[in-house]
Amino acid sequence: MREVFGTRPWRRAEDPAAVISISNFKGGVGKSTTAIHLAQYLAIQGYRVCLIDCDSQATTTMMFGYVPDIDLGERDTLYGYIHDMPPGGLRSFVRKTHFYNLDLVPANLKLYNLEYEIAGYIMQNQSFDVIDSIAHAVETIVDDYDVIILDPPPALGMISLGVLTAANALVIPMPPSIIDFSSTASFLDMLNSTMKQMEMAYRKRPVYNFVKIVGSKADEGKSMHREILGMTSKLFGRYMLNSVLRNSAEIDNASSRMKTVYELERPVTSHEVHSRCLTSLNAVNYEIEQEILKTWSGRGSDF
Ligand SMILES: Nc1ncnc2c1ncn2[C@@H]1O[C@H](COP(=O)(O)OP(=O)(O)O)[C@@H](O)[C@H]1O
Ligand SMILES: [Mg+2]
């Protein structure tokens, strides 16, 4: 219908596709949850979206109905692309999903091998070029999409470095606890020094169109969470999203059914909990959508 009415929100060819990495080197902070709900939200809005699972734990891949180490071959992931560098680029690794407008490059355990293979290559060749291979992979499909979302592993290893180099925007989920706050602070610190080192070794560093920290798994009923969110929004200022992703039983329940909240036909919990959760997800995703639109010329926030 959008096509018929001419209201497809696709970017113009001269505008850059948003390549967003959902990063934080801690596990369990809500990276994959944020990545998949953002991808589905944008697909529902009519954007052409590709989600690339870069984590060998393959949570995101499983959410699309795959048993990663049974349904997928060793080379069906970024691992196969980087190993074989097929002439068709990453396109032959992209799979359609049950979600209209949303494609997936899956992951499985074999992807972990890239960590030491890339490290070995760098040692042997004394060259960091290989770090760019994820960026090259993205370049081969970028024309097909408005938004590419990268779900990296929870470590600042070789794959994460490659993902940070490939991205042109960062979203950093951070639960409002002191431990997650301090680990996010060290993530930002390490990110900064790694980027500086890369710039020295290699004379370039990634440029991000936006960097946004998002409070994740936030329970506004907890005074400690409110306090930490207040502190972090003062500290990070405009780098912090105004909306937070609430901690919700609905997300937990949906994910234990291998579904996202957008895929549930009816609330698993109660209507109230479900709609509160949807409101929170939509608010976070809407803000990120606005950040994407700002990077496309002539596209106001009212589009
Ligand atoms: N906002 C939330 N409310 C409730 N549970 C959540 C929320 N975000 C994530 N979770 C749960 O926390 C666990 C870890 O989340 P995940 O997105 O896989 O983290 P990561 O990718 O950072 O390791 C999952 O079981 C997920 O369902
Ligand atoms: Mg994950």
State if residue 215 touches ligand 1 by the CB under 6 angstroms criterion: no
pLDDT, one tens digit for every residue, the chain (303 residues)? 898 999 999 999 999 999 999 999 899 999 999 999 999 999 999 999 999 999 999 999 999 999 999 999 999 999 999 988 899 999 999 999 999 999 999 999 999 999 999 999 989 988 888 889 999 999 999 999 999 999 999 988 899 999 999 999 999 999 999 999 999 999 999 888 888 888 887 777 888 999 999 999 999 889 999 999 999 999 999 999 999 999 999 999 999 999 999 999 899 999 999 999 999 999 999 999 999 999 998 665 444
Residue that the structure tokens 């407008």 belong to: 101
Spatial separation of the C-alpha atoms in residues 208 and 20, rounded to whole Å:
9
**Hey, what are 48's tokens?**
């052409």
Cβ-based burial of 3 (10 A; exposed 0-12, middle 13-18, buried ≥19) = exposed
Alpha helices in the chain (DSSP H): 2-5, 31-45, 59-63, 68-71, 78-84, 113-125, 133-139, 158-166, 178-202, 223-236, 249-256, 271-294
C-alpha 214 – ligand 2 centre gap (Å)? 15
CA distance 40 to 47: 10
| pTM exceeds 0.85, yes or no | yes
Q: Would you call 172 exposed, middle or buried from its count of C-beta atoms within 10 A (0-12, 13-18, 19+)?
A: buried
Residue 298, pLDDT score? 61
Looking at residue 238, the DSSP 8-state letter turns out to be G
- Smallest CA separation from ligand 1 atom 8, residue: 30
Please work out whether the CB of residue 9 comes within 6 Å of at least one atom of ligand 1.
no
Q: Which ligand is nearest to the CA of 219?
A: 1
d(CA 100, CA 93): 18
Taking CA atoms, 65 is separated from 62, 91, 107, 199, in Å, by: 5, 20, 12, 40
Rg (CA), the chain: 19
CA 228 to ligand 1 center in whole angstroms: 19
Both tokens of 266, joined, read: 């009816």
Q: Which ligand is nearest to the CA of 53?
A: 2
**160 CB near ligand 1 (under 6 Å):** no
Closest CA to 166 of 57, 6, 52: 52
Give the distance (Å) from ligand 2 centre to CA of residue 5: 37
What pLDDT does residue 301 have? Answer: 46
Ligand 1 test: best mutation among 23, 57, 251, most atoms within 8 Å of CB? 251
Quick one: pLDDT at residue 302?
A: 45
CB 26 within 8 A of CB 185: no
The finding on whether 251 has its CB within 6 A of some atom of ligand 1 is yes
The CA-based dihedral angle spanning residues 248, 254, 255, 258, taken in that order and rounded to the nearest 10 degrees: -170
258 lines ligand 1 (CB under 6 A): no
SS3 call for 108: coil
Residue-level pLDDT at 175: 97
Strand-pairing partners, residue 85, are: none
What type of residue sits at position 140? T
Domains detected in the chain = 2-247 (3.40.50.300)
Question: Which parts of the chain are beta strand (E)?
Answer: 18-22, 49-53, 95-96, 102-105, 147-151, 169-174, 210-215
Cα separations in angstroms, 132 against 38, 151, 198, 276, 296: 25, 17, 11, 41, 25
Which atom of ligand 1 is nearest the CA belonging to 217?
A: 1
Q: Which of 73, 74, 51 is nearest to 61 (CA)?
A: 51
Q: Which residue lies with its CA nearest to atom 9 of ligand 1?
A: 30
